[in-house]
Structure 1
Amino acid sequence: MSDSTVRALLLEQIHPDAEEILHSAGFVVERVDRALDEDELVSRMRDVTLLGIRSKTQVTRRVLDAAPRLVAIGAFCIGTNQIDLVAASEAGVTVFNAPFSNTRSVVELAIAEIIAMTRRLTEKNALMHAGVWDKSADGAHEVRGRTLGIVGYGNIGTQLSVLAEGLGMRVLFFDTADRLALGNARRSLSLKELLAESDVVTLHVDGRAANENFFGDADFATMRPGSLFLNLSRGFVVDYAALRAHIERGHVAGAAVDVFPVEPKGRGDEFVSELRGLPNVILTPHIGGSTEEAQQDIGRFVAGKFRDFVRDGSTAMSVNVPSLALPRPEGTLRLILLHRNVPGVLARVNGLLAEHGVNVEAQLLGTRGDFGYVVTDSASGVTQTIVDEIRGMPETVRLRVIF
């Protein structure tokens, strides 16, 4: 694959720096500043080599079947649950995301919303705009001394933990994985224990299918009376009808929600939710990571992954194939083989090369689940016959040749 044939399709208002990086690498770039539905995407995929999306575009098996030249997908966000990762791997398509770039932006929004709800700023603001002067301390509190319960102690949860402690909050966290507590944060042995002790509960869980309906009526009932709730993770993990009921009863004193089970496709489209119109409820349109700084960092990070993957086959930090990065000696041809992870594949490849008198300059193998990834460099001797033989192996998923 030569760089001049690489065509990138970037959707959903990906930062212009991504386009600039890809242009500088010699790739052809097309932008569409909105999400595409499945039919629209299928109609555009035949000549696409690199696909860049955010959270709204769904990459299904049908989309992948319509994309014979596609080699990589970039999720210009944290989550990848909008991509059929199994189908992508089976099609030999490498998937990248940006797991760290918008962490700070999400954390700062969470902190801002905790303070806003604790001081009931949205209600004061609405009254002022209605011409009502309501100078009162009723229901307004400091965050200092209050207990923050963080559900999901990954990249976002840990950074939130540190900043919350800086504000004088006591921090509890619950995670199914074994996580190191930062600062004075304390691990709760169960979700129920965390909910019963926290003044503010915030969700930062991932988008795996098992987390659907993770938080519901029983969990809201376990929360302390008058506590606050935040969800800046995934819309489908919370029963929002149950949240509304607990707010209306006064058991939950406020909520901040940035993600929803069904979200409008484009800017300006109607937003429908059972949470509209409730007091001390902050609703934001999935903007946790939508700062100019975060989007620029994400654009640069994922575009850089695209460039390095096309040029050198680097899969560092890929979410679905083995993560490898091997420096490429000058003057070498590189064979990149994604294959089924069964015994003997590397031996067969090297046997074919040896039969044809090809000397291996460098080689690296990595495996991940059902798939293996082999990068092989040679100074000379690789012929089309060798390429065809490797490509014809029953274990081969995809073979790329980089000159």
Structure 2
Amino acid sequence: MSALRILLVENIHPVAKETLLSEGFQVDLITHAPSEDELLKLLPNYDVLGIRSKTELTANVLKNNPHLTSVGCFCIGTNQVDLVTAREMGIPVFNAPHSNTRSVAELVIAEMISLSRQLGDRNTKAHVGEWIKSADGSREVRGKTVGIVGYGHIGSQVSVLAEALGLKVVFYDVIKKLPLGNAVVKSSLEELLKVSDFVTLHVPETLETKDMITKKELQAMKKGSYLINASRGSVVVIEDLVEALKSKHIAGCAIDVFPEEPASNKEKFKSPLQGLSNVILTPHIGGSTEEAQYAIGMEVAESFRRYLKIGSSSGAVNFPNVDLPVKQGASRILNVHKNEPGVLGEINSLISKAGANIEGQYLSTDEKIGYLIMDVHSDHAKELAADIGQLKRSIRTRVVY
């Protein structure tokens, strides 16, 4: 394991590097998001890559680095990785779907109160000497209705916090979800928009959610309501939002994600939303708390450790999930192959021919690939793994202990 080399980019929390170093891996950490050209130069020197949301891992990069063992997204989203190509090459991609839930939910609650009290504008004016002491347009959030679009880990956490503040909660999700507390499910997005004083978006980036909030949806919202987007920048058509704000149909918005974002803190940020009243713009910091980044670092580092040392693929987003307990005294062989009839028979035939005894075997498949973990008693596990790797339908094979 000490020979495995891991590259962590985009200033991933140092706890990830510390954890992986303590496991005996070689780890390098850089602070920026490498371009495609830079990745093509860097990755031949590494076996494992850890990224955040800004690094694009394209099919070209993956195909030029077939030696990559696994990829970790130290964030929730994985759309920055070509998951299909990674799967076809037998490369599992891990992420951290739970670790920043609380941080994003707290930001949303803070933004609801800030919009309702016009804190952004009043703060900015106070800094330049303007004293705007007035109750006009400033309201409590208690008793208002928040509509949550997407009732997953973050959306449901927002639900709990909002209800504790005295808000009424309604939600809409394309998948049937159990309401928490007194939350009420709505049968359509349109039904939710009509009754909500605050609309907060918590959906993944998919073909269905791209441009989900357009002029039509904004006009369907209550006059004087607020929009919050801490999900994905592609979900809201910004030009339509600008129009709704200028017409005063929407009283304000808080946007944390944008269709185009700077690749680093050194680049300038531009948006048509800049300069509009009661608009809070934050630089994609929903999960950017020390607690969340620490937890994310620990979560993905643990996924790396388990996959690299014992072959566990639990939590991989593009890969059959397999987890087999460690078998003392045996050698563990991992094999990724095309999901076609007869492959397991070919592998077991080689094991039998080698005179090896199978102590444990677990196979899981999806529509494209199969992932097999085998514990065998054999003095020639490496030779056996090499033979299995030579099978026409094998994608990659390795021995972990």
- The TM-score bracket by the shorter chain reads over 0.9
The match for 2:208 is 210
1:250, 1:127 → 2: CA distance? 20
* Structure 1 residue matching 2:2: 3-state secondary structure: helix
User: Structure 2 CA distance, aligned partners of 1:390 and 1:148?
Assistant: 56
Quote the residue 1:334 is aligned against.
Answer: 332
- d(CA) in 1 for partners of 2:204, 2:302: 24
* Gaps in structure 1 of 5+ consecutive residues: none
Per-residue CA deviations over 1:312-353 (Å, capped at 9, x if unaligned) read: 111111111111111212222111111222233222222221
Which residue pairs with 1:176 in the alignment?
Answer: 174
Across the aligned residues of Structure 1 and Structure 2, the Cα RMSD in angstroms comes to: 1.2
Name the SS for the 1:315 alignment partner. Answer: coil
Query: Following superposition of structure 1 onto structure 2, how do residues 4-403 of structure 1 map, counting pairs within 5 Å?
Result: 4-383=2-381, 385-403=383-401
Higher mean alpha-carbon deviation, 189-198 vs 59-68, is at: 59-68
Task: Give the ranges of 4+ consecutive aligned residues of structure 1 lying more than 4 Å apart after TM superposition.
Answer: none
The whole-number CA distance in structure 2 between the counterparts of 1:329 and 1:204 is 42
Are the aligned partners of 1:162 and 1:183 in contact in 2 as well (CA < 8 Å)? yes
State the SS of the aligned residue for 2:179. Answer: coil
Residue type matched to 2:20 in 1? L
The whole-number CA distance in structure 1 between the counterparts of 2:367 and 2:165 is: 43
Greater displacement, 172-181 / 336-345: 336-345
- Give a deviation string over 1:215-261, Cα, whole Å, max 9, x none: 11111111110000000000011100100000000000000000011
Specify the SS of the correspondent of 2:18. Answer: helix
- Contact 1:47 1:67 survives alignment (8 Å): no
Q: CA deviation at 1:372?
A: 1.4
- Letter in structure 2 aligned against 1:19: K
Partners of 2:386 and 2:397 within 8 A in 1: no
Aligned positions, number? 401
Provide, for residues 285-323 of structure 1, a one-character-per-residue CA deviation record: whole Å limited to 9, x for no partner. Answer: 000000000000000110111111111111111111111
In the alignment, the residues of structure 1 paired with residue 99 and residue 40 of structure 2 have an alpha-carbon distance, to the nearest angstrom, of 29
Q: Aligned partners of 1:342 and 1:179: how far apart in 2?
A: 35
C-alpha spacing 1:4/1:385, structure 2 compared with 1 (3 Å): closer
Cα drift, residue 383 of structure 1: 4.9
Distance 2:213 2:221 in 1: 11
TM-score (norm 1): 0.97
TM-score (norm 2): 0.98
SS in 2 for 1:394: coil
